[in-house]
Amino acid sequence: MRNTPFHIVHLDSATIGPSVTLHRPVQAHEWVSYERTAPDEVVARLKGADIAVLNKVAITRAHLEALPDLKMIALSATGYDKIDIAACHDHGVTVSNIRDYAQDTVPEHTLAMILNLRRSISAYHASVKAGDWQASGQFCYFTYPMRDLKDSVLGVIGSGSIGRGVIKLAQAFGMTILQAGRKGDKTPPQGYIAFDEVLQKADIITLHCPLTDETKDYLARDEFRQMTQKPFIINVSRGGLVNEADVIDALDEGLIAGAALDVLTAEPPMDDHIIMQNLHRPNLLVTPHVAWASEEAMQALWDQLVGHIDHFIKGTPRNCL
C-alpha cells in the first residue's frame, strides 16, 4: 500500500472560472497549479507527477514516453480530442473525463443562439447603436428578418445528454424535431432520420457530437448544397465539426441563412482567421467557447473532477476512456 501522497499537477487552471470553489481531493496528495502550459513545458511540469489535471493541453505519445510516473489524466472537459487515448492505453495511464455536467447550460446557450439569429437580435441591437432607430422616423423598422420558432424544424446532430437537452427546450417552443442518424447510414435506428433528409428538411441544424476522424468537417460544402431550407447552423461542440471556410462560402451563396459558432478550429483565433474576418455579417454570431461555462456547470464540473481523482487514488476509477 502506498504511503506517500500522490503528486497532482494542474496544467491550465485559468480554464476554470473565478466563481468556482476549487476544493481539493480528500485523499493524501500534493497539488501544483499552473494557469497555462505551453506544449514545450508539458514534460518539465509533469516530471514525477502521478496525476495530470488539464482541459485543452495536448498529451501525445512522446509526452507519455517521457513521463513514466504518470498514472492518470483527469480531464476537466468532456471532449478528449487533445489526448492520444491509444498511447495512454499502451502506457497504462487512466484517462477520466467529465460527463453530464452541462446538460442545462449548453442547451440554454444553443437556444439563445437560435433565438438570436431567428429574431435578428444582435443585428437590431447593432443597428440601434448605429443610430438607425433614431433616424427611422417611426416607432419601428424592418431591416432584418424575424421568424417564430413555433412550427419550425430543428435538425439535431448528436444524441447525448446535450442533444437531448436541446430537444427538450426546443419542444417547449413548439418546434418539430428531426434527430439525425449517422452520416452515410441509409437505415438509421428507430426514432432517427437519415442524415441527408435532415439536411434537406431542417430550418435550423445544431451539432452536439464529439470531434473524431469520422466527424471532422461533418458539415462542409457538399452538405451545405443539400440544405434546401437555407437553415441556420449552430455549433457549440467542436470547431472542426464544421468547415469554417465553407460556412462563409455558404453564406455568400445563400445556401444557409446564418451561423452561430461557440467553437472554432483555432482557440483563441488570430485576427486573420476566416471567421474573425467576417464578424461584420449580421447573420454570423460568435461566442468564445463559453456555452459550457455557467457558474453552476463549472462548479459541477470541478466537483466531478475531484471525485474522479479521489476514486482513482482509492483504486475505483470512474468515467474511464
Residue tagged active-site, from 7, 118, 238, 308: 238
Exposed/middle/buried for residue 182 (C-beta within 10 Å: 0-12, 13-18, 19+): middle
Secondary element (H or E) of residue 207: strand 204-207
Residue tagged active-site, from 289, 295, 296, 311: 289
Long-range contacts of 252-255, Cβ-Cβ distance < 8 Å, separation of 24 or more = 254/230, 255/224, 255/225, 255/227, 255/230
Secondary element (H or E) of residue 201: helix 195-201
Q: Is 267 a catalytic residue?
A: yes
Q: Is 295 a catalytic residue?
A: no
Residue 250: DSSP 8-state? H
Residue tagged active-site, from 30, 35, 267, 295: 267
Residue with cell 437555407: 230
Gyration radius from the chain CA atoms: 22
Helix residue ranges, H only, 56-153: 61-65, 85-90, 105-118, 121-129
Q: Is 147 a catalytic residue?
A: no
Task: Find the largest Cα–Cα distance for the chain.
Answer: 80
Question: What residues are labeled active site?
Answer: 238, 267, 289
